[in-house]
A and B are shown apart, each in its own frame.
Chain A
Amino acid sequence: MSWLHRLRNSFSRSKSADIDEELAFHLEERRREAIAAGMNEDEAGRAARLRFGSPQHHRESTRDQDVLLWFDSLRRDLLLALRALSRRRGLAATIVLSLGVGMGATAAMFSIADALLWQPFPFADPDRVVAIQEIRNGQPLGANPARFRDLREQVPGFSALAGIYGEGMVLTGRGDARRMDVLRTLGPLLALTGVQPMLGRGFTPREEDSAAPVALLTAAAWRKHFGGDASILNQALILDGKPYTIIGVLPESMTFPESDEAWVPVAPASTNRKARWFEMFARLKPGETRASLEAQLATVAARLAAQYPDSDSGITIRIREVASVTVGDSRTPVLLLLGTVAFVLLLACTNTAGLLLARAAEREHETGIRLALGAGARSLMQTAIVESLLLALCGGALGLALASLSAGALRNLLPQGLPRADAIAINLRVIAFGFLLALVCGLASAIFPAWQTARFRLTHLRSGGRATAGRDRMRARTAFVFGQIGLAAMVLIGAALFGRGFLKLIERPTGVRADGVLTMRTSFSWDTQPPKLHGFIAQTLDRMRQIPGVSHAAVTDRLPANGGSQSGSLAVRGRTFDPRTAPDDIGRRAVSEDYFAVMGIPLRRGRVFRDQLPKGAPGEAVLNETLARRLFPNGEDPLGQWISFNPDRPGTWRQVTGIVADAQRSPREPAPPAEVYVSYSTTYWAIPTFVTRTSAPARTVMEGMRAAVRETDPNVPLESVVPLETGIAATHRQPRLLALLMAGFGLTSLALACIGLYGLLASDVAARRQELGVRLALGATPAGVLWLTIRRGMGLTLAGLAAGLLASIPLSRWIASVVPGLVSLDPLVYLTAAASLLAIALLATYLPARRAALVDPVSALRRD
């Protein structure tokens, strides 16, 4: 009722007019009464007004009582602000631009962090779903099927426990053979997510536990590869040569864990407790908390460790956020960027506050008049805040526009295969965040200037008071600029830190000659018979060697410099070997003998192993220099020594025939790992990657490589041929993006801080025009006056810089500890940051200083 009444009121005639009329009536009544009491007209009017007091004051305080009237005055203040700002377009544009850049960067970073880390997964009750992570020696482990079964039976707090891993399977029978990204599921994954298929049905518990040949398609794959046709249900999907019945299609929203094409159940049947390869997720039972679950997990972990000391000791089980497992090591950089951008935003707000203070100084005259007319402190503050909010909202709109322009570019710069990166967009959440940000920034930048205005007293209008108010304001602005330079120094040091880290990364020798190397991965199903696989490889290599322009062709299990490697422990004949204590970080690479020639890895000693061994000859192996040094540090000759990955099994011993130079395994590793190379033909790996060294144009050789595979076996899925350099560059994407974004933030902060410095000095010079005139008239040289201003500007810069550098030391130390590949106390980093800040600050100082030096004493003294 009453709010309806209020609403109607607000749309009827202006409330201010109501109040004016009501007060006028009161005044008039009082005057009439005075006349009735015998006063004459003039006296009565004066007496009434005297008794009545300030109508302006009554009007404002009455209006303040009325919520709706507040809107009325808001509209008035808004118009006032618009009019005032249109007179000061330069200032308004500077504020909107700096807030816009700050908020745009923040909104863009927020959209990334939100999509990757914070958006709830498309689960029913997403808070109840967690990742279960096993940890040994501080290192996260993959999950093991036997332990998976134990946890499922022994932990009462799970309402569902499921495991997942990705597998590339070969799809045939639907056009060309191709690789399909399949999510293998262990246990009730669908029940865990609480999501129903949008078509067909989900897996039954029987199907889940028996690994029935059934498959669920994801919505994206269903649309892209199966035409979105509902009749696909109950058809067969031939994966790795076996038929799987398509029983349903997952809903569009199911983007967990990433962009797979189908789900296929697999039974947790293995009894080997050491093999670890998948991820576990769980839904909590109603009433269960994370703490109670952690306690249950600790109990079970202890019980299993006692039961299976060989395999299960030393393992702790932790609860993690689902996103922290799927996003993995991108989490830290994303949060770091978000933290940095908060600095930039703070800078933008300080900058705005400084500019608004300058604006308050200009407005002093107007403020004085309003105060003299009876305006209250509250309404003066309101005017100032409305103006700032208006600017902030414009800045926020600009920021969102900038963020949405950059969202596409950012998505392309992100490392590929990041889950949920497709979700990065300027959606409602980001817009709401941007709006909130604008309000907060507007208020934050307005608080100090508005408070200054509210403290304004009429006495300030006398020149002595004005000087005091001006001095206060100047002092505040100086403090702001000091803070801005400090913040900018910190962001710049962060940028230099990441830039230097990235340069070091790309300068690090890979140990391979990547130019002229083409790579092509092929996939077989994991139950392909070894003779068939190795026959295919040998024939394909023969065909590839005949492609014009190809000098060498080889096969490898993984690519150097970006492909990682398998690793494990290694036994040396004649030494005791305990698999539990032996270092298990020795890389194992399966390659064919021409691999070293293709990659340009020089042979240091001996010879390369042979792919075709004479009958009865023992296995052969090649060590890299690091491994040779590590295994034989005391001058023993590595050549001729015997090694084995699995010394308990007969026939696994291999003789070392040669030593090759080190090559990088991953750009994240500061030094090449210890590695052993064995012939591909003596191992089993169903995803061989062919590599060729070519001198011909890449395009013709690429086609030749695809043709070689197709001619050997048309049922092998063709994947694109990629230059090795492209693959290596892809691993630089994340550090490059980090360095680029940090550099962008650094430059933005630099610009913002210099705008602040310039603005401060320019007002200072303007305010001291008279004083400078007197100095010049009394014989100061223009150079002396120039120096005066430069000294002030650079003194402030140096102080801010020193504070920023000091604050950066612990901060950069911390950053270097969480981001691999960065050196915290690199003098070059500090030098670069300091030099760039000083250079730009000098420019921002010189311009107002020159104006100070050019003051004409005569005209400066004549004014006023």
Chain B
Amino acid sequence: MSRSKNDILQGTLTLLVLRTLAHGPKHGYAIATHIERVSNEHLRVEEGSLYPALHRMEQEGWIHAEWKLTETNRRARFYSLTPTGRKQLHAETAAWHRLTAGVAAVLA
């Protein structure tokens, strides 16, 4: 199995998940497809990283999980952003901008 698409950088996944959930609650599969779609399929979310990350973030208190029904009436675990998670999103977004600006400056 070839990996032509970019695997997400370690640590960035948290930021992407937080940003994705800022629009409203989603289940894991929806989070993964959302990131892939919005990134024009440039990014690819591995299940093996996604679910551990979601559970870790839940432990940190950034997101909250509950079992709800989907539009197709199937039980799924929906994640939503907590106030702490919103603060974390702002902090990580700022950090990301600093990082990319720095990297861009070095590459220029």
> Which A residues fall within an 8 A CB radius of B?
2, 6, 18-19, 21-23, 25-26, 28-30, 33, 50, 52-53, 57-58, 61-67, 69
Contact = CB atoms under 8 A, between A and B. Distances in A.
Interface stretch (B6-14, B17-25, B71-79, B92-100): B71-79
Contacts of B53: 65
B47 A23 contact: yes
B59 A66 contact: yes
16 contacts: A21-B75, A22-B76, A23-B47, A25-B28, A25-B75, A26-B47, A26-B51, A30-B29, A33-B33, A53-B46, A53-B48, A58-B47, A62-B54, A62-B55, A65-B53, A65-B56
Contact of A22 (B1, B32, B56, B77): B77
Contacts of B48: 53, 57-58, 61
A58 B74 contact: no
Contacts of B54: 62
B86 interface: no
A9 to B, nearest CB: 9
The 6 closest A-B pairs by CB, nearest first: A65-B55, A29-B29, A62-B51, A65-B56, A26-B29, A22-B77
The dominant DSSP class at the A interface is helix
Interface size class of B (residues with CB under 8 A): 20 to 34
A22 B47 contact: no
A6 B55 CA distance: 12
Contacts of B76: 22, 25
Given A26-B29, A33-B33, 20 more contacts: A2-B61, A19-B51, A21-B77, A22-B51, A22-B76, A23-B47, A25-B27, A25-B29, A26-B47, A30-B29, A50-B1, A52-B47, A53-B46, A53-B48, A58-B47, A61-B48, A62-B51, A64-B52, A65-B53, A65-B56
Contacts of A65: 52-53, 55-56, 59
A62 B52 contact: yes
B84 to A, nearest CB: 9
Most buried by A among B27, B32, B47: B47
* Centre residue among A23, A25, A67 by max chain B CB count within 10 A: A25
A18 B28 CA distance: 13
Contacts, number: 57
A49 B22 CA distance: 30
Contacts of B27: 25
A49 to B, nearest CB: 11
A318 B51 CA distance: 65
Contact of B59 (A25, A26, A53, A67): A67
A53 B47 contact: yes
Given A52-B47, A65-B59, A25 B77 contact: yes
Contacts of B75: 21, 25
Contacts of B46: 53
Contacts of A6: 59
A43 to B, nearest CB: 16
B1 A25 contact: no
A615 B97 CA distance: 117
Contacts of B55: 19, 62-63, 65-66, 69
B32 to A, nearest CB: 8
Contacts of B28: 22, 25-26
A64 B52 CA distance: 8
Interface string B46-70: 1110011111100101000000000
B4 to A, nearest CB: 14
Nearest to A18: B77
A23 B51 contact: yes
Nearest to B56: A65
Interface in B29-54: 29, 32-33, 46-48, 51-54
Nearest to A66: B55
B74 A25 contact: yes
Output the residue of A22, A66, A67, A69 with the most chain B CB within 10 A: A22
A29 B54 CA distance: 18
A22 B54 CA distance: 11
Nearest to B51: A62
Nearest to B49: A61
Nearest to B30: A29
A6 B64 CA distance: 11
B75 to A, nearest CB: 7
A370 B56 CA distance: 25
Contacts of B52: 58, 61-62, 64-65
A28 B76 CA distance: 11
A30 B76 CA distance: 14
Contacts of A2: 61
A63 B52 CA distance: 7
Contacts of B47: 23, 26, 52-53, 58
A65 B54 CA distance: 9
Most buried by B among A21, A65, A66: A65
Most A CB contacts (10 A, CB to CB) among B27, B29, B76 go to: B29
Nearest to A30: B29
Contacts of B77: 18, 21-22, 25
A28 to B, nearest CB: 8
Contacts of B56: 65
A495 to B, nearest CB: 54
A201 B76 CA distance: 74
A57 B28 CA distance: 17
B86 to A, nearest CB: 16
A758 B53 CA distance: 49
Nearest to B46: A53
A23 B46 CA distance: 12
Contacts of B51: 19, 22-23, 26, 58, 61-62
A6 B60 CA distance: 11
Nearest to A64: B52
B63 to A, nearest CB: 12
A67 B33 CA distance: 28
A57 B50 CA distance: 13
Nearest to B61: A2
A62 B48 CA distance: 8
A33 B59 CA distance: 31
Nearest to A59: B51
Contacts of A62: 51-52, 54-55
Nearest to A54: B48
A777 B92 CA distance: 74
A62 B61 CA distance: 16
Nearest to B27: A25
A52 B33 CA distance: 13
Nearest to A67: B59
A29 B47 CA distance: 13
A505 B83 CA distance: 79
A18 B77 CA distance: 9
B30 to A, nearest CB: 8
Contacts of B74: 25, 28
Nearest to A22: B77
A50 B53 CA distance: 21
Contacts of B32: 26
A29 B33 CA distance: 10
B66 to A, nearest CB: 11
Nearest to B74: A25
A65 B75 CA distance: 23
B10 to A, nearest CB: 14
B83 to A, nearest CB: 12
Contacts of B33: 33
Contacts of A22: 28, 51, 76-77
Contacts of A28: 74
